[in-house]
Amino acid sequence: MQQVYDEKVREKILFEELENGLKVYVMPKKGYTKQFAIFATRFGSNDSKFIAPGDDYVTEVPDGVAHFLEHKMFEEEEGSIFEKFSQLGASANAYTNFTTTAYLFSSTENFYENLKLLVHFVQTPYFTDENVEKEKGIIAQEIRMYQDDPNWRVYFNALEALYHVYPVKKDIAGTIESISRIDKDILYKCYYTFYHPENMVLFAVGDIDVDKTLQVIEENVRQVKKQGEIKRIYPDEPVEVHKKEVVQNMQVSIPLFNLAFKDTDVGFGGRNLLKKSLEVQIGLEMAVGRSSELYEKLYQEGLVDSTFGFDYTGEIDYGYTIIGGQSKDPLKVRDIIIKAFKEKSFLDRETFERIKRKYIGKFLRTFNSVESIAYSFINLYMKDIDLMDYLPVLHQINFKDVAERVESHLNEETSAMSIIYPVK
């Protein structure tokens, strides 16, 4: 296996690409009692239109297929996968987001047996007309639950405001109408397209034997030929925001708001994307973080409370910032924040250096937890970013970089507002 060693964090990651194209990464952590493995595919809710390898036609599937497929993968003819992990003393889970579906487990014993089970069940689909129809009812309930969640709605209303046509504006689970059109043939088509080993990655971390880990994976993964590139088809998204404001009334006691900013500098991954993401996050921390003058002002005036926060999502083809929480006067909060971004008085070198040191410390703490390591690795990997590039890129960022990024990204022209008001 190839090895990458980082002297500053004193950690190593070993890498092997199998003949079928599966990328395997192993990080040994001597002395750790917990082990963690995550098996992920580049297939998320955005991937509803594509040309599969070998096809000469476009396949378009209903919204929510990636999430639906994740649910169905845990069902086998003999019963539930969760029970099998539980019997081996492991805790299993999975998640689907806009770009990725991942299956994982954590354990303190029987690691290799659990790893074998993980590889086996993700490589063994079992879909029937009956179990697909049954799952529709379960997922429909989940969709209704999220539709009734004000925090979920204020978030997706913000994405609806930002985006005209890009699929990130759509709920990851789809709609009740869209999932009604899913059948086993659609699931198998997506499975054999996106769950091919060449489109997947497996990351394992803990006090584990590297050679034995690789052996278990090689013996249980599907032995197939590489399939070639999947052509994903996304619509051309205009630069401008779709709507400046989306308002909804729900059962809340205090209004909720999401002030969103659309990132228009997109279309690249790797170290450049990492650098941009860190610039935005440092700029946001300087502007509206808990130690900022702006946050203190908003808090002291009773305009925000402990729910106030921010987040930047930076993917290869899209990106956005969300600033939000509860507020008795969301529009006033928006105006104050927009004004602060125009004036940029929060941009000073001393604060920049302090926040940068904070992010260095935050990253180093990641290596204290096998879960944090694994989630960070997969999140970055799906953006073509190497985990070990994080610290060198962070060290390269200077005050001018952050000031320019704030100027280009956090401005009124790229902003939109989502508000949930109490029912009158």
Q: Residues 355, 403: contact at Cβ < 8 Å?
A: no
70 is catalytic: yes
The string of DSSP letters for 134-162 reads HHHHHHHHHHHHHHT-HHHHHHHHHHHHH
| CA angle centred on 345, ends 340 and 351, rounded to 5° | 115
For 242, the 3-state DSSP assignment is coil
Burial 304-329 (b: 16+ CB within 10 A, else e): beeebebebbbbbbbbbbbbbbbbee
Q: What share of the chain is helix, strand, coil (3-state, %, to 5)?
A: 45, 20, 35
CA distance 132 to 221: 25
CA distance 355 to 349: 10
Q: How far is CA 249 from the centre of its chain?
A: 28
Q: What is the DSSP letter of 130?
A: H
Task: Show Cβ contacts of residue 222 under 8 Å, excluding neighbours closer than 6 positions.
Answer: 20, 123, 197
CA distance 71 to 122: 11
Packing angle of the helix pair 111-122, 210-220 (nearest 10 deg): 30
The string of DSSP letters for 87-107 reads HTTEEEEEEE-SS-EEEEEEE
Q: What are phi and psi of 66, to 5 degrees?
A: -60, -45
Burial 46-77 (b: 16+ CB within 10 A, else e): bbbebbbbeeeeeeebbbbbbbbbbebbbbee
Which one of 7, 11, 17, 70 is the catalytic residue? 70
Q: Residues 42, 157: contact at Cβ < 8 Å?
A: no
- Specify the amino acid at residue 115: L
| Residues involved in catalysis | 70
